[in-house]
Amino acid sequence: MTRTPIAAGNWKMNGTNAEARALCRGLAGIDAIAGVDVVLSPSFTQLGLVWDFWCGTDVHIAGQNMHTQPSGAYTGEVSPVQLAEVADWVIVGHSERRQFFCEDDQALALKLRTAEMNGLTPILCVGESDAERENKRTANVLTRQVSIALGDDPAPDGLVVAYEPVWAIGTGKAATPDEAQSACTHIRSVLSDKLGEEVADGVRILYGGSVKPDNIADFMAQPDVDGALVGGAALDADAFLAITRAIAASG
Ligand code: PGA
């Protein structure tokens, strides 16, 4: 099964509108790189302008979060209906959402279904903490996170899973390619148990955590790593272009 790899940039809570525009300009030509799906995930206030900038290209735009209700009295939240006006993808369950905003596996299960109902392709983020890793709980944590988020329903359309060990995010201490491969293989086996082998084979699984232009090729050499979710390096247009080219070249 061939899986088109993904280069996804998570801009987190960074930049002004002017800076977001400049970053988009710096990424000129990224839509012409063949053999890779590009996803940009700016913060809510930048979504409209980034969506308009890439309109008519193959670049996908992702929200970093969303509420599960279509509308209502939820001050400060953004609904999936609102998000779908300026994005076609959404990140679900980033570890920073789990850590700082108390999102748990059950809440994320609902968000996955919400994404599907609103035509948004979800990137479900999973990954163990430093303590869980030290206690050799990585496989258990990944099994729990993937199983509960998926529930007993069929996979949401286009489901993407990102393996992002919490200890590797923003630390400069990336997982080794072997660690990434073994976690991604495990995730695929959990998907296979839940969804069947054929479906699991088609799900793209990304690695995220201190991905840089100089380590991406080693991750992409792993058979179960289908791309990257990039934080810090995605804020540097040249670095993200280099990562995207390396991902495309891996196919
Ligand atoms: P990082 O972040 O690349 O800065 O480690 C990755 C992420 O949080 O998605």
Considering only CA atoms, which of 3, 5, 243, 8 is closest in space to residue 125? 8
In this structure, which long-range contacts are made by residues 68-75, counting pairs with CB atoms below 8 Å and at least 24 apart in sequence?
A: 68/107, 68/110, 68/111, 68/114
What's residue 13's pLDDT?
Answer: 98
Q: How far does residue 182's CA lie from ligand 1's centre (Å)?
A: 19
End-to-end C-alpha distance for the chain, whole angstroms: 12
Residue 209 has what pLDDT?
98
Cβ pair 238, 14 in contact under 8 A:
no
pLDDT band at residue 23 under the 50/70/90 scheme? very high
Ligand 1 pocket residue status of 231, Cβ below 6 Å: yes
Total residues belonging to the chain: 251
Q: Is the CB of 232 under 6 A from ligand 1?
A: yes
pLDDT single digits (tens) 121-143: 999 999 999 999 999 999 999 99
Region 101-108 average pLDDT:
94
Q: Say if ligand 1 is within 6 A of residue 162 CB.
A: no
42 CA to middle of ligand 1, Å?
Answer: 13
0.75 exceeded by pTM: yes
| 207, 163 contact by CB (below 8 A) | yes
Active site residues: 94, 164
Q: Which helix (H) or strand (E) holds 197?
A: helix 197-202
